[in-house]
Amino acid sequence: MQTVTFVKKIKEDGSPCRKCAEVEERLQSAGLMPRIDRVVIADERDPASEGIQLAAELGVDAAPFFIVVKDGVQIVYTSYVRVLKEVLTAKTTEEEEAKEILERSDDLDFL
Amino acid sequence: MVEMGIPAAEIAGLAAEYATRTPVEILTLALERFDNIALSFSGAEDIVLVDMASKIRPGVAVFSLDTGRLHGETYRFIESVRERYPITLDVLAPDTIAVERLVREKGLFSFYKDGHTECCGIRKVVPLKRKLATVDAWITGQRQDQSPSTRASVPVIQADTAFSSAEHPVVKFNPLARWSSAEVWRYMREHDVPYNQLHEKGFASIGCEPCTRAVLPNQHEREGRWWWEEATIKECGLHAGNLKGGR
């Protein structure tokens, strides 16, 4: 038994964060949204929102992120490429893996 | 006999030990410990590493990422470096099909609208990933003073978490991490090291032509790269203030 929770962020101005929107679009276009059991909002305007609370509890500092519970074991994924590959067993492209590497590796910005 | 490689458990200790060593000492360690190692050369100030490394190990493997969008000055500089130094230089190209698809779908300047990561991913990171899959370690010219927000904590030696896998760990050496731009240029003058002509035109940091611009006196070099993106670069962060307030 596996449950997948997708936590996405709403920015202070009420708009969705760009990366969260991209990931959601990616999940939608690949027909993977039905395999996401819950979508939780981290609303920057509301510190009590469930996503903000979850991020604090789990020590996550960037959105989006995923919480996967399988056979009672919880794993937090901050890499959506890993979720696609390891949890949803979907194919990823070299380009999206590279884009994520760059987004997650601040020190590569001057390459 | 010199021990080869660096076990993951020893990297942090060596990084601390070598934090105050000179770039030449760090390079010497890197080249002693790894046979299968390559130096990344961007066509900018990291030329000092080519100068140092080629003296330590003539024939040292060097690679440059040719995005297809570099300045003419950079291509000419890379070629002059190949002729001057005893190095084995590989110029890596992006995947043609991926570039053609990007340009077909989003045009030649998509980065001004969508941000630079998609284009950089295709033109730089994929070729870099391909290259790093073939080596055990690499050497970069990253310096802490290049960007207060993204490079302030760059160590002199690190496990490369971005490009390592469980089966293939990669060690990354940043011999210039603690040098300032002034120290790099002092070395270049003292050792008569050639430099990219763009520096004479006000370019402090050198990347692709559409994404790099000259900076004014006392402007930080970071302001010469992706200047249109500053407002949104950290938009995915879950702000600590909110997290604290939620407790």
Say yes or no for a CB contact (<8 Å) between A102 and B42: no
Residue B225 lies in a domain: no
Report the residue from B151, B225, B246 with minimal CB separation from A52.
Answer: B246
Helix (H, G, I), strand (E, B) or coil at A67: strand
The helix or strand, by DSSP H or E, that contains position B64, with its residue range, turns out to be: strand B60-65
Query: What residues make up the domain containing B18?
Result: 8-200
The helix or strand, by DSSP H or E, that contains position B60, with its residue range, turns out to be: strand B60-65
**Number of domains into which chain B is organized:** 1
Report the residue from A63, A107, A109 with minimal CB separation from B238.
Answer: A63
Residue B191 lies in a domain: yes
Residue B240 lies in a domain: no
Mean pLDDT, range A68-90, rounded to an integer: 92
- Both structure tokens of A27: 């999940």
> Does A62 have pLDDT greater than 90?
no
pTM of the model: 0.85
Full set of structural domains in chain A with CATH: 2-108 (3.40.30.10)
Q: Do residues B77 and B197 make contact, with C-beta atoms less than 8 angstroms apart?
A: yes
Residue B229 lies in a domain: no
Say yes or no for a CB contact (<8 Å) between B125 and A111: yes
Say yes or no for a CB contact (<8 Å) between B121 and A55: no
Residues 6+ apart with CB under 8 A from A51: A7, A8, A9, A40, A41, A42, A43, A63
Listed in order, strand segments (DSSP E) in B93-234 are 137-139, 157-159, 171-173
Over B69-126, what HEC string results?
CECHHHHHHHHHHHHHCCEEEEEECCCHHHHHHHHHHHCCCCHHHHCCHHHHHHHHHH
Residue B169 lies in a domain: yes
* CATH number of the domain that residue B99 is part of: 3.40.50.620
- Residue range A84-106, pLDDT digits in tens: 999 999 989 888 889 888 888 87
Q: Do residues A56 and A46 make contact, with C-beta atoms less than 8 angstroms apart?
A: no
Residue B69 lies in a domain: yes
* pLDDT, position B226: 85
Listed in order, strand segments (DSSP E) in A1-111 are 2-10, 38-43, 65-70, 73-77
* End-to-end Cα distance, chain B: 56
Residue B246 lies in a domain: no
Residue B144 lies in a domain: yes
pLDDT in tens, chain B (247 residues): 567 899 999 999 999 999 999 999 999 999 999 999 999 999 888 999 999 999 999 999 999 999 999 999 999 999 999 999 999 999 999 999 999 999 999 999 999 998 888 999 999 999 999 999 999 999 999 998 877 666 778 899 999 988 998 899 999 999 999 999 999 999 999 999 999 999 999 998 899 999 999 988 888 877 888 888 865 444 566 654 443 332 2
